[in-house]
Amino acid sequence: MEENKEITPQATVEVIEFGPLRISGNFTLKDLRRDSEVSPGEVWLCRCGKSQTKPYCDESHKK
């Protein structure tokens, strides 16, 4: 029988309208392309594809 456990979120993902994803909290970001792994506490990830610093947002979506 499965217990009804209350789950405490470790991280929050916010979808910014016409902009990036903001991820905050306790998480690890693994970038396999650069072979890096960081736990920044907060990160803004590009969703538009225009960023020159992918996977991070560089605000190119505003142009």
Which residues are at the interface with ligand FES (CB under 6 A)?
Answer: 19-20, 46-48, 50-51, 57-61
Query: Among residues 9 and 49, whose Cβ is nearest to ligand FES?
Result: 49
Residues whose CB is less than 8 angstroms from the CB of residue 15 and which lie 6 or more positions away in sequence, other chains included? 21, 47
Give the pair of three-digit tokens for residue 34. Answer: 């650069």
In whole angstroms, how close is the CB of 23 to ligand FES at the nearest point? 13
In whole angstroms, how close is the CB of 13 to ligand FES at the nearest point? 14
Beta bridge partners of 25: 11
Phi, psi of 61 (to 5 degrees): -65, -20
Query: Among residues 5 and 34, whose Cβ is nearest to ligand FES?
Result: 34
